[in-house]
Structure 1
Amino acid sequence: MNATPPGDPGAQPDARGVVAANASARAKVLGWARRSIDLVPTSWLITGAGAVLLGATAIFGGLEAAAVDPTPTVDVGETFEGSDLEMTVVGVELSDDPDNVMVFPDEEKGERVLVVTVDVVNTFDKPRPSSDNEAGSPVLDGIILEGLDERPSISRADDGLGSPRLQPDVPARLLLAWVVGPDDFHDGDEVHLTLPDSTHYVGKSVVRGDYWYDVVVGATVTATVEEVTSP
């Protein structure tokens, strides 16, 4: 029995032609992609790249937050060192007529005086003022009591001298006083204070001398108001 010979497979495609056709197709696709990208605003590309980066970071464990030191918290009676001062909040008192303060409440309005007693030591090697009347003060009038916008009046607890200078390494007990309304504070209220810190700078050209600038909150103190009845 005679076998029928296989049919002619016909002409086979040329390998070089296939490669050329594929290269041409890729070139068309890449050219279209480049033209499309050129039409997209640069800001969109940056935003998109950022989104891709954030997405990839989230997949691989998230962004690692930069370490930020929390603001220290000190207790009443505990010393904080900032702005070349040692500051110790001793207590907070509410009174009608405290001694040795430089503020004067209006009795007819029912005003009272809130007094924060602070022990301070100037650890700098020169005398310094206890207040400098600046919005961001690095010294004692830079102590802020939450809820009061006014700066405190400062005086010595022993003789009432106002805005005393702080001698190097000489402890001083100071009174920071505010006039407050009859319903602003009460016995047993919890109040929050911030103590200032800053950077020491020595002026050497146009402005000379020692300065403390870049004032920040160095520490916070929580205290309880004690009402003092006048004798």
Structure 2
Amino acid sequence: MIPDRAEPESRPTSRFGWVRAASDRVPTKWFAGIGTAAFLGATAAFGGLATAADAPVADLGAGEEHRNDQFAITVERAVLIDEFQGAGVYVEDGERVLALPIRVENTWNQPLAAYPDSSLTQSLEIEGLTETTPDSVARYDDATLSPSLQPGVPAQLLLAWAVEVDAFTDEQELRITLNDMTLHTGSFVVNGQWWTDPVPAATTTIELEDIGAGR
């Protein structure tokens, strides 16, 4: 008796059956990666991954406070004075002192030093001032230079610059920008924490007072 002939294996009924057969041999995680790439590409195409719009810069009135995670700062006055050695500023011929009294509170959880090139002074920018770093930072009450600001303890400070005698005038409006800083935490090579990367967050306009020899 002649044995029955084996039936030939059925071929895929779909013309794309080979795709399914091939996909069965591809690791599942590849599909996850391909899907993620496709999603990111589509999202970026529609602006979904675009950088968030910059926060609006607040316009503060004279004497209004700007508060963030590092400082609460209030610009109280802006004065021109002939000399101010008591604040640690020494002028040469053709110079005067621009002084900015401010009220500051350290809103962080650690002491912060207030010296001329510190995160505090980087938190303020005066329009028209070519040298943004002040010559000195002093306490207003006892003239302590480069004081340490304790958390939650308000202090009155004086930031002072030696400027050209004709750089600023009496009753001139000074536009001052108040910056927010970002806290960075070091790792590997650099340890510790520090505030940097100033970003404009508020502005205020103060009328400059020329007090001559001072009072």
Q: What range is the shorter-chain TM-score in?
A: 0.5 to 0.7
Give yes or no for the alignment of 1:223 onto 2:206: yes
Count of residues paired in the alignment: 161
1:105-149 CA-to-partner distances (Å, cap 9, x unmatched) read: 12xx3321110111000011111111373xxx5323442111112
Q: TM-score, normalised by structure 2?
A: 0.68
Structure 1: which 5+ runs fail to align?
Answer: 1-65
Counterpart secondary structure, 2:208: strand
Q: Say if 2:126 is the partner of 1:140.
A: no
Q: Greater helix percent: which structure?
A: 1
Cα pair 1:138 1:197 within 8 Å, conserved: no
Closer, same or farther: CA 100–171 of 1 in aligned 2, 3 Å: farther
- Helix, strand or coil at the partner of 1:214: strand
Aligned counterparts of 1:196 and 1:138: Cα–Cα separation in 2: 10
Q: Hey, what's the Cα distance between the residues in 2 that align with 1:76 and 1:100?
A: 26
Is residue 2:97 matched to residue 1:113?
Answer: yes
Is 1:101–1:155's contact at 8 Å kept on the other side of the alignment?
yes
Take 1:131 and 1:195, find their aligned partners in 2: how far apart are those partners?
A: 17
Partner SS for 1:144: strand
Q: State, as a whole percentage, how many aligned pairs show the same letter.
A: 39
Contact 1:72 1:219 survives alignment (8 Å): yes
The answer to whether the Cα contact below 8 Å between 2:122 and 2:179 also exists between their aligned partners in 1 is no
Aligned AA (1:167):
Q
Question: Structure 1 residues 67 and 199, CA, compared in 2 at 3 Å: closer, same or farther?
Answer: closer
C-alpha distance in 1 between matches for 2:115 and 2:177? 15
Partner of 1:160: 143
Give distance in 1, aligned partners of 2:158 and 2:108.
21
* Distance across 2 between alignment mates of 1:131 and 1:142: 12
The yes-or-no answer on 1:185 pairing with 2:168 is: yes
How far apart, in 2, do the equivalents of 1:131 and 1:99 lie? 16
C-alpha separation in 1, matches of 2:139 and 2:99 = 12
- Which residue of 2 is the match for residue 56 of structure 1? none
CA contact (8 A) 1:71 1:219 kept: yes
Which one-letter code corresponds to 2:127 in the other structure? E
CA distance, structure 1, for counterparts of residue 85 and residue 139 of structure 2: 10
Question: Contact between 1:83 and 1:212, CA under 8 Å: does it hold in 2?
Answer: no
Please tell me the root mean square deviation across aligned C-alpha atoms, in Å: 2.1
Partner of 2:159: helix, strand, or coil?
strand
Unaligned runs of 5+ in 2: 1-51
Q: Normalization by structure 1: what TM-score? A: 0.63
